Amino acid sequence: MLAGPLLAPDTYAFNAAAPRRAELARADLRKGFASWRLAWALARLDLRNRYRGSVIGPFWMTLSTVLMMMGLGLLYSRLLGLSLGEYLPHLTVSLVVWNILAGMVTDACTSMTSAEGVIRQLRIPFTVHALRSVFRNGLTAAHSLPLIPLVFLLFGHLPGPEALLALVGIGLLLANAFFASILLGMLCARFRDIAPIVANVMQLAFFLTPILWKPELLKDLAVWLPLNPFYALLETIRGPLVEGGGQPLVWLAAILYTLALGAVSLAFFVRFRGRLAFWV
């Protein structure tokens, strides 16, 4: 007998005539979340490997946000005729959150294909790969989030207790990141053209979403803004921090978008989970 550990007994059964897809998908999600430690360890490795040999590592993201903030802050506060004190808190929250959001979406496209080797060799819940992508981006985000209180202190912008609502906003963002990692991860494994399309959409969305500019500049058109899901999500974090809470309509929109993305991605997951090993 070997001295090493014994593997726990397990039964794998699949019947193509009655595939019980929903049950299998549920088991995948359950086991995937149960092995969050694995996803966490992998995410930390990803971060370490990405910045191996770099002196300031993931703080490069922070630094580039700072530079962008300073440059754009000076220019756009002038262009929009706003004082720095009015404009910078808005810009900081917007840029930091947007970088996190955009990073999560682009990373979601490779959540499955980057784990190709593992998917084709080991039976691991696919949920783990999606979680890994969420954790990886969450870790990166943790390096630039402190910029927000820093700028707030510098400009004496102190939000009230409603700022705690931003935590709910972050929760929504994470939920969306998870669903996107499942949906985009699988779609991009199957159709290799989707990743570049997503990159283009995100670039366009950066300009169409009030990040550099403020929503009130749209005047009477501002009522249409909640149709932009990126705006709604961004506003659930920016609203509590900068604008004293954010409108109920925007919160409703953000929750609806999250539910919709969740429904679509889970439906897709249930239907095509079994095909993923052939796609990557």
**Of 194, 23, 57, 51, nearest in space to 112 by CA:** 194
- Tell whether residue 1 is a contact of another protein (CB under 8 A): yes
- Tell whether residue 10 is a contact of another protein (CB under 8 A): yes
Residue type, 34: A
- Tell whether residue 193 is a contact of another protein (CB under 8 A): no
- Tell whether residue 248 is a contact of another protein (CB under 8 A): no
Q: Could you tell me which stretch among 42-50, 61-69, 132-140, 226-234 binds another protein (CB under 8 A)? A: 42-50
Instruction: Name the one residue in this structure whose structure tokens are 């929760």.
Output: 171
- Tell whether residue 224 is a contact of another protein (CB under 8 A): no
Q: Smallest distance from the beta carbon of 135 to another protein, in angstroms?
A: 13
Q: Could you tell me which stretch among 14-22, 177-185, 203-211, 221-229 binds another protein (CB under 8 A)? A: 14-22
Residues 6+ apart with CB under 8 A from 190: 272, 275, 279
- Tell whether residue 37 is a contact of another protein (CB under 8 A): yes
Query: What mask, x for binding another protein by CB under 8 A, covers residues 50 to 79?
Result: --x---------------------------
Contacting another protein (CB under 8 A), which of 174, 190, 206, 255? Answer: 190
**Of 201, 33, 20, nearest in space to 130 by CA:** 33
Contacting another protein (CB under 8 A), which of 55, 81, 83, 117? Answer: 117
**Of 92, 104, 209, 102, nearest in space to 145 by CA:** 92
Query: d(Cα 97, Cα 104) in Å, to the nearest integer?
Result: 11
Contacting another protein (CB under 8 A), which of 27, 41, 74, 267? Answer: 41
Q: Smallest distance from the beta carbon of 187 to another protein, in angstroms?
A: 13
Which CB, 35 or 106, lies closer to another protein? 35
Residues 6+ apart with CB under 8 A from 210: 94, 217, 218, 225, 231, 234
- Tell whether residue 6 is a contact of another protein (CB under 8 A): yes
Which CB, 123 or 219, lies closer to another protein? 123
Phi and psi at residue 192, to the nearest 5°: -75, -5
- Tell whether residue 27 is a contact of another protein (CB under 8 A): no
Contacting another protein (CB under 8 A), which of 22, 26, 33, 38? Answer: 38
Which CB, 83 or 121, lies closer to another protein? 121
Which one-letter DSSP state was computed for residue 280?
A: -
Q: Smallest distance from the beta carbon of 39 to another protein, in angstroms?
A: 9
Crossing angle of helices 84-108 and 126-144, rounded to 10°: 160
**Of 106, 39, 23, nearest in space to 273 by CA:** 23
Burial-class residue 146 by CB neighbours within 10 Å (0-12, 13-18, 19+): exposed
Helix extents (H) in 80-164: 84-108, 116-119, 126-144, 147-154
Q: Smallest distance from the beta carbon of 192 to another protein, in angstroms?
A: 7
Residues that bind another protein (CB under 8 A): 1-17, 35, 37-38, 41-42, 45, 48-49, 52, 117-124, 190, 192, 274-275, 277-279
